């Protein structure tokens, strides 16, 4: 089999005004998506989503730039796959899309789901956690966070992750005030759903130590990116101070980047993303992390095709836990696929079909034309 063509579909959908949301100082105004499509001389087509954080148009350029190395080559030959190099975000996310599309092709050629190529006994379904809790505004009813949690419980989700809201400086929010909301949330949920917090690297180490202790006491499942990522010793200190795992690494694209965090016990769970570094790198990172007793729960924001790539990886992990599912991406998330995969009570079924097990419909670019510019605008108050 030989690769005959490769292209990148760049898609967008603006959020309606009432669906736009503000986190920290950014207003999110649209959903973006980039899909790498690899065609072959045997009529098989591979598809893979490249994380939209890499900027769809720049990723398309990288895919184009690599195409002479791919066209005419055998997609099943491992040497065909370019590798992430941790110097350019657009480059590595583009590789994430190419790598996932090649895995889709490998599965289709073998007549097996990707998860079965990754391990002999993969899970048939993966537990999702509802990822959002980033729409609440400290100035206008922060209790919106609690309403949202109740919605997820009603839809059958068994776990939820939330963020720390709009810029604390705007409204004089303190750790005490934040923890008041956290306790109210935990009390309302009352064990019906597991809870996780993502600090998005916005806290100081002193704030993070206090928050971590309270989350641990409340039985939280993890505390993600509490402080700026470069403070590896700070992470190690927080991680040592609580039983609850401290997690991170969603931006990392190479195993090498995880080494100091693993060696210093800075993370108890690592969070690479197949849309950012590819399925191959996720599995490699998982294997080494496992040797350190560290689990892997992929970062998985954006759309449904990336969710499927991450789901196959989770299904094949040595110690699978949960997979993130973005709850606020809007219609683009699943409408990029011909059919939405089955999600029942927060569990995603791995389709019993070759490859990633999903297809894209015709005419996506006409339906969701790409809108240039960033997905977020910065706001001041
Ligand atoms: Mg995160």
Q: What is the pLDDT of residues 288-314, one digit of tens each?
A: 999 999 999 999 999 999 999 999 999
Residue ranges of the chain that CATH labels 3.30.390.10: 3-111+362-378
Residue 201 C-alpha to ligand 1 middle, in angstroms? 9
Residue 163 C-alpha to ligand 1 middle, in angstroms? 9
d(CA 124, CA 325) in angstroms, rounded, equals 17
Residue 248 C-alpha to ligand 1 middle, in angstroms? 7
Distances (CA, A) of 215 to 128, 179, 303: 21, 9, 29
Looking at the chain, the whole-number percentage of residues with pLDDT higher than 90 is 97
Banded model confidence at residue 87, pLDDT cuts 50, 70, 90: confident
Q: How far is residue 191 CA from its own chain's centroid?
A: 25
DSSP string, 96-131: HHHHHHHHHHHHHHHTSBHHHHH-SS--SEEEEEEE
The pLDDT assigned to 82 comes to 84
Residue 200 C-alpha to ligand 1 middle, in angstroms? 6
d(CA 52, CA 59) in angstroms, rounded, equals 9
Residue 121 C-alpha to ligand 1 middle, in angstroms? 29
As a whole number, the mean pLDDT across the chain is 97
Residue 131 C-alpha to ligand 1 middle, in angstroms? 9
Distances (CA, A) of 199 to 9, 24, 73, 163, 165: 32, 11, 43, 6, 9
Residue 3 C-alpha to ligand 1 middle, in angstroms? 35
Residue 225 C-alpha to ligand 1 middle, in angstroms? 7
Residue 73 C-alpha to ligand 1 middle, in angstroms? 36
Residue 244 C-alpha to ligand 1 middle, in angstroms? 16
Angle at Cα 373 formed by Cα 371 and Cα 375, nearest 5°?
A: 85
Residue 26 C-alpha to ligand 1 middle, in angstroms? 15
Q: Which of 288, 246, 283, 284 lies closest to 267, judged by CA?
A: 246
182-232 tens-digit pLDDT: 999 999 999 999 999 999 999 999 999 999 999 999 999 999 999 999 999
Residue 224 C-alpha to ligand 1 middle, in angstroms? 6
Residue ranges of the chain that CATH labels 3.20.20.120: 116-349
Average pLDDT over residues 12-34: 96
Residue 80 C-alpha to ligand 1 middle, in angstroms? 31
Beta-bridge mates of residue 117: none
Residue 126 C-alpha to ligand 1 middle, in angstroms? 19
Residue 161 C-alpha to ligand 1 middle, in angstroms? 9
Residue 78 C-alpha to ligand 1 middle, in angstroms? 30
Phi and psi, residue 379, nearest 5°: -120, 155
224-266 tens-digit pLDDT: 999 999 999 999 999 999 999 999 999 999 999 999 999 999 9
d(CA 298, CA 300) in angstroms, rounded, equals 6
Contact 166, 138 (CB under 8 A): yes
Residue 300 C-alpha to ligand 1 middle, in angstroms? 9
The pLDDT assigned to 67 comes to 95
The pLDDT assigned to 240 comes to 98
Residue 234 C-alpha to ligand 1 middle, in angstroms? 18
The pLDDT assigned to 86 comes to 85
Under CATH, which number does the domain 3-111+362-378 receive? 3.30.390.10
Residue 352 C-alpha to ligand 1 middle, in angstroms? 30
E-strand ranges in 67-205 read 125-131, 159-162, 194-198
Residue 130 C-alpha to ligand 1 middle, in angstroms? 13
The pLDDT assigned to 349 comes to 98
The pLDDT assigned to 2 comes to 97
E-strand ranges in the chain read 3-14, 21-23, 26-28, 30-40, 45-50, 125-131, 159-162, 194-198, 222-224, 246-248, 269-270, 295-296, 322-326, 343-344, 347-349, 376-378
The pLDDT assigned to 81 comes to 79
Residue 355 C-alpha to ligand 1 middle, in angstroms? 27
Residues with CB under 5 A from ligand 1 (ion): 198
Name every residue whose Cβ is closer than 8 Å to that of residue 371 and which is 6 or more positions away in sequence: 12, 14, 30, 32
Fold exhibited by the domain 116-349:
TIM Barrel (3.20.20)
The pLDDT assigned to 79 comes to 82
Residue 299 C-alpha to ligand 1 middle, in angstroms? 7
Strand 194-198 and strand 222-224: the pairing is: parallel
Average pLDDT over residues 318-334: 97
């Amino acid at each position: 089999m030989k690769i005959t063509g490769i292209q990148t579909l760049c898609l967008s959908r603006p959020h309606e005004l009432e669906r736009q949301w503000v986190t920290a100082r950014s207003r999110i105004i649209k959903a973006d998506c980039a899909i790498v499509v690899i065609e072959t001389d045997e009529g098989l087509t591979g598809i893979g989503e490249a994380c939209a954080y890499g900027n769809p148009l720049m990723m398309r350029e990288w895919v184009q730039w690599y195409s002479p190395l791919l066209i005419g080559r055998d997609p099943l030959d491992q040497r065909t796959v370019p590798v992430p190099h941790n110097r350019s975000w657009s480059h590595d996310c583009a590789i994430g899309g190419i790598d996932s599309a090649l895995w889709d092709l490998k599965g289709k050629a073998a007549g097996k789901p990707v998860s079965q190529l990754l391990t002999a006994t993969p899970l048939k379904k993966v537990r999702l956690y509802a990822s959002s809790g980033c729409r609440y505004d400290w100035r206008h009813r922060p209790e919106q966070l609690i309403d949202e949690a109740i919605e997820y419980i009603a839809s059958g989700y068994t776990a939820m992750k939330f963020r720390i809201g709009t810029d604390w400086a705007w409204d004089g929010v303190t750790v005490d005030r934040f923890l008041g909301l956290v306790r109210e949330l935990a009390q309302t949920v009352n064990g019906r759903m597991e809870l996780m917090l993502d600090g998005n690297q916005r806290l100081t180490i002193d704030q993070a130590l206090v928050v971590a202790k309270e989350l641990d006491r409340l039985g939280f499942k993890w505390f993600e990116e509490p402080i700026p990522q470069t403070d590896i010793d700070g992470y190690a200190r927080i991680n040592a101070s609580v039983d609850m795992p401290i997690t991170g690494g969603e931006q990392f694209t190479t195993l090498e980047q995880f080494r100091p965090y693993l060696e210093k016990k800075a993370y108890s769970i690592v969070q690479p993303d197949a849309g950012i570094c590819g399925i191959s790198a996720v599995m490699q990172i998982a294997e080494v992390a496992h040797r350190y007793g560290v689990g892997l729960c992929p970062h998985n924001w954006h759309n449904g095709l990336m969710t499927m790539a991450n789901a196959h990886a989770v299904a094949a992990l040595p110690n699978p836990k949960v997979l993130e599912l973005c709850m606020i991406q809007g219609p683009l998330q699943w409408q990029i696929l011909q059919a939405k995969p089955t999600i029942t009570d927060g569990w995603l079924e791995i389709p019993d079909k070759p490859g990633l097990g999903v297809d894209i419909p015709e005419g996506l670019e006409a339906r969701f034309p790409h809108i240039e510019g960033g997905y977020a605008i910065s706001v001041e108050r």
